[in-house]
Chains A and B, each alone.
Chain A
Amino acid sequence: MDRSVEAGRPGLLRGAGASTLVLWATTAIAMAAALYMMFLYAPTEAVQGDLQRLFYVHMSTALIGYVGFFVTFLAGAIYLARGSVRWDRLARASAIIGVVFITIVLITGCLWGTKVWGACWTWDPRLTTTLILWFIYVGYLMLRGYVDDPQARMRLAAIVGIVGFVVVPINYMSVYWWRSLHPQATVLRPEGPGLSSEMLITLLVTMAAFLLLYVVLLRLQLKLESLIDELGELRFRRLLQESDG
């Protein structure tokens, strides 16, 4: 690749291959399309007016939170079965992204609730289980800092990541199992989606754009995690050399 082109790129894209550039460009285009549809294509809702447009971001970020924790669950299970560090790395990277997106879900939900329910927070089953989910995966990430032995740390983290995922289906079903202020599903219902076709298409495009963003962020976080592991290994080897010498 031309060095002048390479040097002109923003830091995160320096050294990136063609597939990464295509992925970033596709994500940017999808996100621009989603924003256009959210504000200009989707109709204004009759009761909540423009505030309802927050729904597309709120739902999509919740989906990414679920996907992030699902990948953590799956990678943790594969790590326990095979013992390969790269699965642990994938679980860790995905959990970080899941926590970031669930944090956004909690904050956007609080803002939406403030206007629609008159309260930022209620101990509603959906809200409470979302908060529990957030605490579990923040705990999962913190746990990694408290266990010194790498094997024990990875094994324990995988178990927490797998057990913690139990809360995801509970969180999804909470609006059906308990009395809840939070609306029930508007898309995946036996009687069909409860949205106009324009709203449904906008939601699907926004979710697709956020899924692409998840892949971009996961690759970035994985690169960081692998470099951190490499650095730790090099430091350990250096310490060994120094103690030998």
Chain B
Amino acid sequence: MSDNSTFLLFLFLGFAVAWLGIIAYVMYVGARLRAVERDLESLRTPAADAPERSSGSGVDQD
């Protein structure tokens, strides 16, 4: 492999690491945000949520 093509390979790897790292971090924060928002929502509306849950569960429908 010529020097310039290995230079290009390492350049590609470097950029891939940097961008994939940033994208993975943003996706992780996004997933955590959604999960925390869901948990907050379920904690904020416990009374309205409880009857819905029991009527919507598979056990009750049976």
Chain A residues within 8 Å of B, Cβ to Cβ: 11-12, 48-51, 53-54, 57-58, 61, 100, 103-104, 107-108, 111-112, 114-115, 213, 217, 220-221, 223-224, 227-228, 230-231, 234-235, 238
Contacts and interface: CB of A to CB of B under 8 A. Distances in A.
Contacts of A221: 29
Nearest to A230: B40
B52 to A, nearest CB: 19
B22 A50 contact: no
Contact of A11 (B18, B34, B36, B44): B34
Contacts, number: 81
A110 to B, nearest CB: 9
SS class, residues of chain A in contact with chain B: helix
Contact of B14 (A57, A100, A228): A57
SS class, residues of chain B in contact with chain A: helix
A216 to B, nearest CB: 9
B7 A107 contact: no
B32 A224 contact: yes
B18 A57 contact: yes
A213 B29 CA distance: 14
B50 interface: no
Contacts of A48: 7
A11 B30 CA distance: 7
Q: How large is the interface on B (under 10, 10 to 19, 20 to 34, 35 or more residues)?
A: 20 to 34
Given A11-B30, A111-B17, A227 B37 contact: yes
B43 A12 contact: no
A112 B10 contact: yes
Given A58-B14, A108-B14, A49 B22 contact: no
Interface in B4-21: 4, 6-8, 10-11, 13-15, 17-18, 21
B11 A213 contact: no
Nearest to A105: B18
Contacts of A57: 14-15, 18
B39 A231 contact: yes
A51 B40 contact: no
Which 10 pairs across A and B sit closest by C-beta, in order of nearness?
A: A51-B7, A54-B14, A49-B7, A227-B36, A108-B14, A115-B10, A234-B43, A111-B14, A107-B17, A12-B30
B43 A103 contact: no
